[in-house]
Chains A and B, each alone.
Chain A
Amino acid sequence: MASRLIYKATHEADNPFDVSLTESFQLLESQLRPPFPLTILTQPEYSNLNRAILYGILCEPHLAEVHIKHLHGIITDGYSLFTALLTRLVDELYSKLVENVKIQLLGVTSIMIRVSAIGIDSLLVALLRQTRGGDFSKANLWLCSELVTLFSIKWESLLEEQPLVLSSAMYVFLRLLADHCRVSSNSNLDTLKQKEIEFCIRVFKEQFHLCLKIGRDLIRLLQDLVHVPEFQEIWKDLLLFPGNFKTLGFSDISQLYQSRTSSRYFLLRLTPEMETYLRFLLTQVKLGSQTRYQIWFGKKFLNVQEKESVVIDIVRFICCAHHPSNKTILSNVIPRWAVIGWLLTCCSKNHVQANVKLALLYDFLFFHEEVDNIMNIEPAMLLMINSVPKYVDMTQNLLEFLFLLVDHYDVERKDLIVRGVLSALDVLERKGVVQSFDALTSCDLLSSVLKERLVKLLLSKNVVCKKVILPATPELAYTAPSRASCEV
């Protein structure tokens, strides 16, 4: 039987999950009409019936009400299996689902929130991950709109049961807004933008503690929205009147700067497919064999102009959420810095390039050894060092940008940023990520102004950091990575 759940191209193999749902439905179809039997089910029977009902809800909209009643009647596990099936469906098959199935899926998600299903947080996260920045297709904007509506309608119950999901949604909609606010308006998009803005402003105004949960990347995202009138007031409060948020313990924006953003937020902006491809590239593909994979990845995810803004999220993901094992670091697998070097060359627009560089260097600015991870700053430093001499423009460009950030990112809190950068440089040298900074300070190809600045900064590092003597941590056996040239 042809699948009613997904579109299947000619010559595409059957999807095992689609087949399992379809087979369960076919097997149990006669039992899915009232009167429902009252027999007690064994575990396999229970799983089968969950799959059959799920298929029924998704593919028979006219009988969905009956199926849902049936579902409520048989559930003995707090809906945990049912939501797990839904989550898997979204992760594996969302982009292939038939339109009507997508509509049913959003409907049943709303019901799962109402019944406080176990695992509803994972399901909502899975759906959030399917929204794409820079994708202005009707289908994608529809999903964004459905989700922001869902989060707004279910605000109260989510706040009570799953407050962290609201933080996740906030991160996603702030990021989407950055893309949505960049294009010239049309009425469809304007309505969506307004809903997204209202949702985010509501979190800021009513539940600021949920914003604090995000950490420093909240500010990174807000920066792209500085021109949106609704966010100007938020900015003013953040910089001048932190008391207006009426949140105990919040007295200065630097508290946000100093709190590292959890890696789960970065995963929110990559589809599972993109994550799989990137992790494959970074664990299996050897340096020198990456060209074809880069071409395929670019063709699929980046080549359409508006879509390139996802590179910002990818770089943040690589720095902060994909930390290779020591075995991988010591192998000839393509290192993270080389992939980031390639990604930087994929950006054609200036504002995307600037944002990608910010994403790459962001943790330098606020680095604090006790809360931050050296692996988050390692790719940027290695990209700078290893690009000498063949791709010295890259080194120059990144170093310039780092100093630009030191000078201008937050003039009022420049001391804090200088301390962050110094502490980052210190830990990189002390832990052996770089043997020394001589490769930069004595590089003839770099501009002398830049070198002087770096030397001056490094001198002050010795003063500031000498007092902090920490034992070398054994967990990172950091032998100097090969100085292979940056293959881009």
Chain B
Amino acid sequence: MRGITLHSINADSVFLSGIPRDFHLHAKSMLGIYFRSRRRQLTMLPLKDITPAARNNVNTQFIILEKGKITLEGGQNKTCMGLVADETASVHFQLWNEECDAFEAGDIIRLSNGIFSYQRGNNLVLRAGKRGKVEKVGEFTMVFAESPNMSEILWAPDPNNSGKYVRESVISTHSHIFPPTV
């Protein structure tokens, strides 16, 4: 059945490609509930399996280990770098505008439709982006691994698969921005 695979694809694109337009309008609210409940059951991607890509398709859950200083970008947008981790790996996560104040170290966050990509220069960060969403789902009760840090891996374009990346080497086992606490 079509619905089984729907959850991993952007809802609007499915409606417009496969279902008559008026049905879309008619059943929007009902399907909205359906999609909301489906999204809750999305399989979470372990952080060790994320790879850089120009797509908003990372669904994962992690705990914030540390937050850096909040800075102003372009004079108006606040950003804040954080170290986040799940039980498989850690990664640098960029908080944006009101997200900077909404979350604290120790918060457990669910990221839907996030993006893991290069930002200015060689900074590889995970973030919600314009189409993604971050929500606090808990606190404290999550185990984590600080190493490997997925932002500290050197990736190279996949020769067999254009637009994809493969691991080339490990730059550092731990974050160079947030040194490990002992």
Contacts and interface: CB of A to CB of B under 8 A. Distances in A.
A246 to B, nearest CB: 49
A10 B95 CA distance: 14
Interface in B30-63: none
A292 B134 contact: no
Contacts of A285: 143
B141 A276 contact: yes
Contacts of A292: 65, 105-106, 181
Contacts of B110: 13
B140 A280 contact: yes
Interface string A412-432: 000000000000000000000
Interface string A5-48: 00001111100000000000000000000000000000000000
A69 interface: no
B140 A11 contact: no
B135 interface: yes
Interface stretch (A107-115, A226-234, A293-301, A305-313): A293-301
Interface string B133-156: 011110111011000000000000
A478 interface: no
A296 B141 CA distance: 11
Contacts of A299: 106
Contacts of A300: 106, 139
A291 interface: yes
B143 A10 contact: no
Contacts of A289: 143-144
B156 to A, nearest CB: 32
Contact of A10 (B102, B106, B140, B182): B102
Interface in A236-293: 276-277, 280, 284-285, 289, 291-293
Contact of B140 (A9, A13, A277): A277
B80 to A, nearest CB: 13
Nearest to A278: B140
A11 B134 contact: yes
B103 A11 contact: yes
B12 interface: no
A41 to B, nearest CB: 24
Interface residues of A, number: 19
Contacts of B103: 11
Given A284-B143, A300-B106, A11 B99 contact: yes
A289 B147 CA distance: 12
A296 B140 contact: yes
A439 to B, nearest CB: 26
B105 A13 contact: no
B22 interface: no
A9 B106 contact: no
Contact of B136 (A11, A280, A291, A297): A11
A289 B143 CA distance: 9
Contacts of B102: 9-11
Nearest to A293: B140
A135 to B, nearest CB: 18
Nearest to B95: A11
Given A296-B105, A296-B106, A12 B140 contact: no
Nearest to A280: B141
A13 B98 CA distance: 15
B141 A9 contact: no
The 6 closest A-B pairs by CB, nearest first: A296-B106, A13-B135, A11-B102, A280-B141, A13-B137, A12-B136
30 contacts: A9-B102, A10-B102, A11-B103, A11-B136, A13-B110, A13-B135, A13-B136, A13-B137, A276-B140, A276-B141, A277-B139, A277-B140, A277-B141, A280-B141, A284-B141, A284-B143, A285-B143, A291-B181, A291-B182, A292-B65, A292-B105, A292-B106, A292-B181, A295-B105, A296-B105, A296-B106, A296-B139, A296-B140, A297-B140, A300-B106
Given A13-B137, A292-B65, 10 more contacts: A9-B136, A11-B102, A12-B136, A13-B110, A13-B136, A276-B140, A277-B139, A292-B181, A296-B106, A297-B140
